[in-house]
Structure 1
Amino acid sequence: MKFNHILEMWKETKIPFDEIILTEEMIETGMDPVIIKNNMRKLVEVMLTEADQNYGKKHESLTGLTGNNAEKFLKHTPKMLSEFNYVATITALSTAENNASMGRIVACPTAGACGIVPAILYALKKVYNANFEELLSAFIIAGAIGNIIAKKATISGAAGGCQAEIGTATAMASAALTYYFSKDAEKCGHAASLALKSLMGLVCDPVGGFVEVPCVKRNASAANIAISTSEMALSGIESVIPFDEVVDAMYRVGKMMHEDLRETGNGGIAATPTARKLVEDIKKSWK
């Protein structure tokens, strides 16, 4: 599936973009669009349920390196963020910390990037009172963006760095948010492109190999990148480079990364003296 292909179908037919995506998926996989939509419905239900139950909640992670960030942010009165950004940030932190404590999440597209899309969907529900069907339609757009990246490039941090995980999730969230407000497929492509370009080259460097530091806080900052890039796309700002080409570029960048920067825990911040001492302390506490 190429974005340009489904975009041209939308321009020619003016059928709602989410319906075009479901039809294209049926052509590629042979699956009934109703079944595909129902499967996606279940994923949205889980994301919203877990976001609601874990909102600002304190967690106990495997290592203790994270777990109280969402709680801290819930108690904080924002000085610069809008209500929407604030809710999205808390949700991203909560969901990522829920993952770090072995809670139920939707890998969207991966566990390490699980907080970004739910952050956007839950903020739409909480701040804009978005109904479920609107959120489902937006999620279908997000799914298409993730599917394109997975097929054309990679969504694996081990294969392409964190740009493939956090970057993909941010592109998905930005496109979903843009679709909710505009129903404009072309703007969704620009939003996804702007988001992915903003995180291109991001390395995957989890301290100790655990999906905690810097993963949890990256989910929160990335949710805000999704919001800002969507806002740009909604204003009419366009990505000079088409989405399909941005995905190809991301894949090439990932291939150029040294293996130490691709989820091995051997490079980036994972290789800092503090990180290494933390890992040694964790190992000692487990003995």
Structure 2
Amino acid sequence: MKYSELIEIWKNTNLEFSEVILAQEMLDTGRDPVRVKHNLKALLTVMLEESERNYGKSFETLTGLTGNNGQKLSFHTPQMLSEFSHVATVVAISMGESNASMGRIVACPTAGSCGVVPGALYALYKVKKADFDSLLKAFIVGSGVGNVVAKRATLSGAAGGCQAEIGTATAMASAMLTYYFSQDPIKVGNASSLALKALMGLVCDPVGGFVEVPCVKRNGNAVNVAIASSEMALAGIESVIPFDEVVEAMYNVGKSLPESLRETGLGGIAATKTAQEIVENIRNKWNT
């Protein structure tokens, strides 16, 4: 399935775009659109519940390398971030820390990128007072964008680097935000392209192999990339490269990354002197 194919169906029918995505899923997999929508509704409900529950909370994680960053940001009075961006960032970090402490999360599209989409959704819900039905339509559109990546490339950090995980999450979040404010699938495609291009080539380099550093704070940064990409698309800024080609490029970049930069914990910041010392200290602590 290509995004361009979804656009063609939308242009040739009177269907709302989220319904186009559900209908295409039925054609591709045979899954009942009503059941798929019900399942996505359940996931959206969990995201909002956990965002509310974990907002600015302190966590105890396996290594202790993270756990109170969301709390720190929630107590901080923003000097530059808007209320919307501040809320989204707190949620993105808090959900990442919840994942690192074995809390309930929605892997969207993966556990390591679980904060980006909830951050965007919760900011719409809390700051913009979005109703659930509007959020669900936007979430379905974002899911459709993620599905394009899943089917035409990869969502795996081990296969394609962090660009495949948090890059896809950022494209999904940007798509959701753009659809919520515009209901324009063309702008959605531009926003998704801008977001994924911004994170093209991002390596997967977890310190010690744990999904804590730099993963958690990347979620906080990424949700702001999604917001900026959406704002640009809403302003009429277009991606020169269509989304389908951006996805293909991301896949090719991921295949060219060395193994050390694909979730092995052997390259990038995971290979720095400080990271190695941290890992050694963790080993010594666990062995005593």
- Partner SS, residue 237 of structure 2: coil
State the shift of 1:10 in Å: 1.0
State the shift of 1:12 in Å: 2.0
TM-score, normalisation: structure 2 = 0.99
Counterpart residue identity of residue 65, structure 1: L
Match of residue 226 from structure 1: 226
Counterpart residue identity of residue 174, structure 1: S
State the shift of 1:271 in Å: 0.1
Q: Deviations over 1:111-150 (max 9, x none)?
A: 0000000000000000011011111111101111111101
Match of residue 277 from structure 1: 277
Alpha-carbon distance in 1 for matches of 2:188, 2:201: 22
Q: How many residues of Structure 1 are paired with residues of Structure 2 in the alignment?
A: 287
Match of residue 156 from structure 1: 156
Match of residue 34 from structure 2: 34
Alpha-carbon distance in 1 for matches of 2:91, 2:170: 14
State the shift of 1:14 in Å: 3.8
Match of residue 43 from structure 2: 43
Q: Which runs of 5 or more residues in structure 1 are unaligned? A: none
Alpha-carbon distance in 2 for matches of 1:80, 1:155: 32
State the shift of 1:37 in Å: 0.1
Across the aligned residues of Structure 1 and Structure 2, the Cα RMSD in angstroms comes to: 0.5
Match of residue 110 from structure 1: 110
- Partner SS, residue 57 of structure 1: coil
Alpha-carbon distance in 2 for matches of 1:273, 1:210: 17
Q: Does 1:78 align with 2:46?
A: no
Alpha-carbon distance in 2 for matches of 1:135, 1:97: 24
Match of residue 171 from structure 1: 171
Match of residue 67 from structure 1: 67
Alpha-carbon distance in 2 for matches of 1:204, 1:31: 33
Counterpart residue identity of residue 204, structure 1: C
Q: Does 1:139 align with 2:134?
A: no
Alpha-carbon distance in 2 for matches of 1:173, 1:14: 25
Match of residue 54 from structure 1: 54
Q: Deviations over 1:45-100 (max 9, x none)?
A: 00000000000000000000000000100110000000000000000011000000
Q: Deviations over 1:197-233 (max 9, x none)?
A: 0000000000000000000000000000000000000
Match of residue 265 from structure 2: 265
- Partner SS, residue 154 of structure 1: coil
Counterpart residue identity of residue 248, structure 1: E
Match of residue 246 from structure 1: 246
Alpha-carbon distance in 2 for matches of 1:134, 1:256: 39
Alpha-carbon distance in 2 for matches of 1:10, 1:33: 16
Alpha-carbon distance in 2 for matches of 1:93, 1:57: 10
TM-score, normalisation: structure 1 = 0.99
State the shift of 1:29 in Å: 1.1
Alpha-carbon distance in 2 for matches of 1:162, 1:169: 10
Alpha-carbon distance in 1 for matches of 2:174, 2:39: 22
Match of residue 87 from structure 1: 87
Match of residue 187 from structure 2: 187
Q: Which runs of 5 or more residues in structure 2 are unaligned? A: none
% identity of equivalent residues: 66
Alpha-carbon distance in 2 for matches of 1:109, 1:188: 18
Match of residue 201 from structure 2: 201
Alpha-carbon distance in 1 for matches of 2:142, 2:208: 31
Moved over 4 A (4+): none
